[in-house]
Amino acid sequence: MVEFITLFLAMVWGPVDVAVAVDQRVATVELFLDGREVGSITGSPWRGRVDFGNDLLPHDLVAVALDARGRRLGETRQWINLSRALTEARWVVDPKERWPPKRARLVWESFDGAPPRSSKVKFNMQTLEPTEDGWVTFPAYDADTPQSLHAQLRFEDDLEAQADLVFGGVFGEVISSELSAVVLLLPEGEQVPSVDEATRWIRSTKGPVEVSSMNSGPAFVILVVDPRLWPPLPMAVGEQIRSTAKRPRKLRRKDRLYLLQTSPQAVKLRPKTALFKPYAVLSPYRGKGILYAARRLRPPRMADEPPHILDALAVAGRLAARSGRPRCVFWLYREGGEDRSIVDLPRVRKYLEALQVPLVTWKSEGEESLVETVSRIQESLARQVVVWIEGRHLPQEILLSKTAPRGLRFAGEVP
């Protein structure tokens, strides 16, 4: 019916052209941004313009296809400035096959491109073996009764992904289940709530939400370090550690600590749009502390072009947001220096706040020691709890209810 040709894999704001592809029955395509109609397209070249606003924020872009009589034929959706999980799997049913389907394909993605270590597939509790390219063929089944297809994939670093489809019977064609993560920062001394309590604490702008589950760890931390801090930073950290009686604890075994480089890998796709390739995200620090990383990490050799530090912060926020874990972006910097970033600092701060990702900064010329800053980070991580709610929601759609305990905030929210 209708599909997006313009795919927003990069960060985007401001007015941008949007192109769609349609079949011969479509007379009009209406465009909706966050539920509000923002334009329509009535013919070739099937291209319209959408204004995403001045801020860098997550958005829900929907294209609805109508025939000449105004009847709805179908829709397609794109989530803008919003990443999904670090690992993701989904089922694809061949649209060329006649109903009922006889097979489906399991496709997956991981943030570093690594394949899953193992996979388990079940069709109505019967184990199936996928082919090398992910296809599974269904045994004989009754299309008039509901059918369930489930896949569980395991990746390195204790990461998992699952894909579920329900079809047939009262469900008709394929349905996929989705969950959204909401990250709360509990008040000091507050215990992790039960599912019932969390359901009463939060709501959507559209009404009540249903909480599926919760988790409070392990943590996910991304370091973005000004390359000009080497070599002074390791020496300064060593001196601070030696002069501090109480050191921050080490990371837990399953906590993950990453470094995102700031070298100029930004690609200008269109005005006010950037794709920052996070291929240099490293994770060699299991069980070690943030201070250990600050002393031992060495940034990749810098190119001649100045760094894209603020672009890196925005990408770090996207990566952290899709982890589904307590998280933090830690920016270590010094004053001055050239930065070729496309995005500016106010947009970065507002973006990470919308994603519920705390941004903690440490300035080398500041009064707070690095040891003190790291202690604040670890205290924040210990108070974060991830609440999984049914359905796909933009993070800014979720609000605290009047029954939420005093002092409860969303992670990353500026008090």
370-383 and 232-242 are packed helices; what angle lies between their axes, rounded to 10 degrees? Answer: 80
Nearest to 159, CA basis, from 122, 195, 204, 116:
116
For residue 378, give the H/E element and its range. helix 370-383
Cα 91 to Cα 42, 74, 97, 121, 145, distances in angstroms: 33, 20, 15, 11, 19
Residue type, 165: L
Phi, psi at 65, each rounded to 5°: -95, 135
What is the C-alpha separation between 299 and 225, in angstroms, rounded? Answer: 8
CB atoms within 10 A of CB 213: 11
CB atoms within 10 A of CB 100: 15
As assigned by CATH, the class of the 220-400 domain is alpha beta
Angle at 334 between CA 241 and CA 293, to 5 degrees: 40
**What stretch(es) of the chain map to CATH 3.40.50?**
220-400
What is the C-alpha separation between 351 and 129, in angstroms, rounded? Answer: 42
What is the C-alpha separation between 60 and 386, in angstroms, rounded? Answer: 22
The DSSP 8-state label assigned to residue 207 in this structure reads B
Residue type, 135: W
Residue type, 129: E
2-80 adopts what CATH topology?
Immunoglobulin-like (2.60.40)
What's domain 84-177's architecture? Sandwich (2.60)
Per-residue pLDDT of the chain (415 residues; tens, 9 = 90+): 788 888 776 788 999 999 988 888 899 999 999 999 999 999 888 999 999 999 999 999 999 999 999 999 888 888 898 865 567 777 777 655 667 788 888 887 675 567 888 889 999 888 999 888 889 999 988 877 778 888 888 887 667 777 877 776 544 555 555 678 899 999 988 888 888 999 999 999 989 998 878 888 788 888 888 877 766 565 666 666 565 555 555 556 567 777 777 765 433 333 333 333 333 344 444 545 676 666 665 555 555 667 888 988 998 898 888 878 899 999 988 888 788 888 899 999 999 999 999 999 988 887 888 888 888 898 899 999 999 888 889 999 999 999 999 999 999 987 6
Contact call for residues 11 and 37 (beta carbons, < 8 A): no
**What stretch(es) of the chain map to CATH 2.60.40.10?**
2-80
Token readout for 116 is 């899953």
Residue entry with tokens 């349905």: 175
Nearest to 192, CA basis, from 180, 203, 201:
201
What is the C-alpha separation between 102 and 123, in angstroms, rounded? Answer: 12
What is the C-alpha separation between 57 and 232, in angstroms, rounded? Answer: 35
Nearest to 182, CA basis, from 408, 395, 397, 404:
395
Residue entry with tokens 């100029």: 264
What is the C-alpha separation between 413 and 349, in angstroms, rounded? Answer: 10
Region of 391 (left: φ > 0; alpha: ψ -120 to 50; beta: rest) is left
The predicted pLDDT at position 24 comes to 83
Which residues have a Cβ under 8 Å from the Cβ of 231 and sit 6 or more positions away? Answer: none
